[in-house]
Structure 1
Amino acid sequence: MDRNQEIKKHRHHHSLVGITLVIAGVIFLAGNLGMIPPELWDIIARWPTIFLVFAFVNVVKKKFVPAFVFGTIWLFFVFPDVFPNVQTEEVWNFWPILLILAGLLFLYTNQKRRSISSSGPKAQDDDVIEEVAIFSGNMKRIESQNFKGGEITSIFGGTELYFNNSKLAPEGANIELANIFGGTKLVVPRDWNVKIKVVSILGGFADKRVYMEEENTSKPTLTLKGVTIFGGGEISNF
């Protein structure tokens, strides 16, 4: 990815975050001012709405399979409020649908990872990552000698990745993070350049590197982007 493409992608990411925050702010302001019907506001102003927000973000990114999965998860949680005449017990009979959706998401990310990895002449499995942890935990050692980046999604779960024996690609690497009621832990070599551009909403992403060499602009950089909502994350070098 050349410099112009990187700048364009960076601007698109910030625009997406900005648009999402503006829409969320307008909706919650309207709700607080009583401009939204109470029965509808009771559904919106609940924690499952985070899944709806994540679905919206994926639609904008043209990632329709994850958007469908997260949208369906949101609908599952609010179904009793949307259809009050349906017994709650009847709704929970369909909880295995969540397993099916989680499986679809895993299949989607696995297929996407293969397509990205095959685009380069000598791309290896660990060069591009697609990690998903939903109500679960992942721990993995990445030993790529040409790490290019990827995506990490942690929802009610956690992901731990260790890059101790890895090297960055000459052009650097970008990791897109999405922590929703979940967390991500990254351990990187001490000589890596790292930039953190993670947006935190009622959450946080901590830089816990205890030994940092002076940044060398001639060396590739690992850039962390994304969002943390009601979640956390950290990067360390030990």
Structure 2
Amino acid sequence: MAYRELSGNIFNSKAGTLVNTVNCVGVMGKGIALEFRRRYPEMFEAYKSICEKQLLRPGQILPYTKQTPWILNFAIKDDWKNPSKIEWIESCLDKFVKNYQKMGIESIAFPWMGAMNGGIPLDQIKEITRTYLSNLPDISIEVYDFDKTAPDPLFRRLKNIVQIPDLDVQTLSKASTIQYHYLTKIIQAVNGEDVRSLPLLIESGLVGKTNIEKLYAFLRRPTMDIDKFHAKLQLFH
């Protein structure tokens, strides 16, 4: 068991549990929360329902355990428009330390909570996080310093698809529901040198929010679905 600080993408972690940072009004519209929403829509709907009932308050943890990995939503904001507060982050960390053994959590990956859209200085976040997490003896903990250039499994899946020899873009367009014109832009970008991750693809501005959502939905499909799609494309070679 160990505590490690890493540079990379939290969605590459093999940990059994991932930590997401959220507000209490049911919105995941920026930063890591938006990435979690796009990757785990069922979790988002459960979280949104809890928020609509006003059952989540700052400093609380909302677990989602109906999938692997588990997700712990740390409520470190009240409204998404407002900054995080140190006391809310500490409250979440304290609750985690007191309850992870009861939940059977053996490995977990964290972001630096509140350091990006939360408005809290990173040095302060690091000090608090290390105080609570660095000496726990029976759990593997990773804390990620986000690297937007790091690819993750969804991007690698996209890369594998667009590199199929003689790719039939019309078939891919129908399967993904992304219009041919925008899909061609995505393929060109992913096959280029500058776009090495989904965050960089989004940052490029080549496609809008609607098509990004469609892309994530397509890439979320089970492996078997994607394999069938590959097989279908092979018929055109």
Q: Same fold (TM over 0.5)?
A: no
Per chain length, whose mean CA-contact separation is higher, i.e. which structure has more relative contact order (CA < 8 Å, sep 6+)? 2
The structure carrying a bigger helix percent of its residues is 2
TM range, normalised to the smaller chain? under 0.3
TM-score (norm 2): 0.25
